[in-house]
Structure 1
Amino acid sequence: FIGEHSYSTDEHPIAVGRPDDSDLALAAEFGKKIRKKIETADAMDTLYPVDVRAIKRPSQPFIPLFRFLRKVIKLRKSGTPLPRAPWVENESVCTHCGLCVVRCPAGAITKGDELHTDESKCIKCCACVKACTKKARVYDTPFATLLSDCFKKQKQPQTIL
């Protein structure tokens, strides 16, 4: 199901507000179908596995995808340095609450040293940025601009049962 992109910001929104009510209704219906499938199965062997490699990718409009890839190539060729991890832009704003530490799934931020992110562990998911109630943490990547500019059309969730 579709959710707000981790690089989404107020300045560069990417799927803001997702999942929306429609997405959540589809997710609830999907859950009901899964439950019914499990409850009506005679045995485990009737619950066949889904080969996710065989799932057809959702169609992607060619022009926005081409525009995005062209801009990515241009960005890479420009030599523009890309940020390696989120950072605390204004240290006086950070309250050292530790929420970024708790939310980081990679353990890239240490309690007591919230101002730093271990770049070798960071997976750039931006969970720390989204969790920071003071907006002290940022991840200003040019990819946010590219994604926001090139992919404005809302995608529909895809489910396989």
Structure 2
Amino acid sequence: MTFDPVPLTGDRATGYDQLAGQAAALLAGEPDRIANAANLSALVYHSLLEVNWAGFYFYDGHELVVGPFQGKPACVRIALGKGVCGTAAETRRTQLVPDVHTFPGHIACDADSRSEIVVPLIRDDTLIGVLDLDSPRPGRFDDTDRRGLETLAAVFVNSPTTF
């Protein structure tokens, strides 16, 4: 099966709605979480402007471990409460960071990244991991991105994926 993303149209909120529909179609019927995470990270990376990293970290019961992603090589393991990803996982709240250099304890996997957004992945009150996006532009992510990426995270978490 081939899948070609449809170019996003309209305002950014509408674009995220379109992206969520594409994500749902892409993940439909596939139970493997690695396959779904790989395809979703590629879809996001190639659909959103000014993103230099998009991917997943999965919680193994002790720490976050890098999963499928698009971008430069990444940090492999992140402790809960450390950096933006670990903070999102520990607090179970989306972290929207306009300037990573002002975030206490930021983990610099890619020196080009200047802003970041991390959405926790929760299913049945269980931490699965996080969806992480970086940008080389300070202030790249805002509340529209937060809402849109939380919707995409929900598409992933609520897909038929085996966790």
Please report the TM-score for the alignment, with normalisation by the length of structure 2: 0.21
Richer in strand (by share): 2
Asked which structure has the greater CA Rg, the reply is: 1
Please report the TM-score for the alignment, with normalisation by the length of structure 1: 0.21
By relative contact order (CA 8 Å, sep 6+), the higher-ranking structure is 1
